[in-house]
Structures are given as C-alpha cells and as structure tokens.
Amino acid sequence: QVQLAESGGGLVQAGDSLRLSCAASGRTFSSYGLGWFRQAPGKEREFVVCINWRGDSTYYADSVKGRFTLSRDNAKNTVYLQMNRLKPEDTAVYYCAAKNSPLATPRGPWDYWGQGTQVTVSS
C-alpha cells in the first residue's frame, strides 16, 4: 500500500497563491497515478486534477484549468499542486489520492487517500 500526507493549506485572500504538497510512502511512488480532490462545506467531494505516473500527462477540472498546476517529483516521492489566482469558491478541504493505475484519469477506483488540508480563500 501507499500512505499519503498533505500539507500547505492555509488562509489567503482572493487572487493569492498557495502550493500544496503530498508526500507518499510505501510502494514505489512512480507506480501510481495521483490526483487531488476537494470538498467544500455542504458539497460533495469533487475531482480537481490528476497526473499519470510519468508526470507528463495531466487532466484538470474546468473550474481550475489555467490556474492550478499539478506536478510530481518521483525522486522525492512528492506531488505538488500550485494554486494561483485563488477564488473564494476554491475554499475546501483538499485531499491527495492515489490509484494503482498509472493513468491520468479522474475515474476510480481511487485506492488511497490522505487526511486532507484546509484551504480558505477570503474575499
């Protein structure tokens, strides 16, 4: 199995930036596709972005395309989510996830989950 731990959340103003990190341990990091989901208060958990095992293919939700950038560093067993021009509607708990498939696709099953990190964007 693989263990995931998110960090980097915080409170920012609209238009600011944050970088979230997801550190992985366990099985070979490069064997997994990775992604980020988020869940706002009172809302269902939604897909944000995912990346394939090579780090050369990504799939973004329309709501974040052009503002968020996902990358991975297999040597450091870490994936990064750079979030720019944040909006109040980006406020949510952000979860890192991994799947046994190496492909970049939002479809499940997502086999492993982190505990989440809070991102709050004020107006």
The pLDDT of residue 63: 96
For 8-57, the DSSP string reads --EEEETT--EEEEEEEEES-GGGSEEEEEEE-TTS--EEEEEE-TTSS-
pLDDT confidence band for 108 (50 / 70 / 90): confident
Distance (Å, whole) CA 78 – CA 43 = 28
Q: What is the pLDDT of residue 29?
A: 63
Q: How far apart are CA 95 and CA 112, in angstroms?
A: 10
pLDDT tens readout for residues 33-85: 889 999 999 999 999 999 887 778 899 999 999 999 999 887 888 899 999 99
Q: Specify the residue for token string 């090579």.
A: 54
Answer whether 68's CB lies under 8 Å from 83's CB: yes
Angle at 103 between CA 32 and CA 44, to 5 degrees: 85
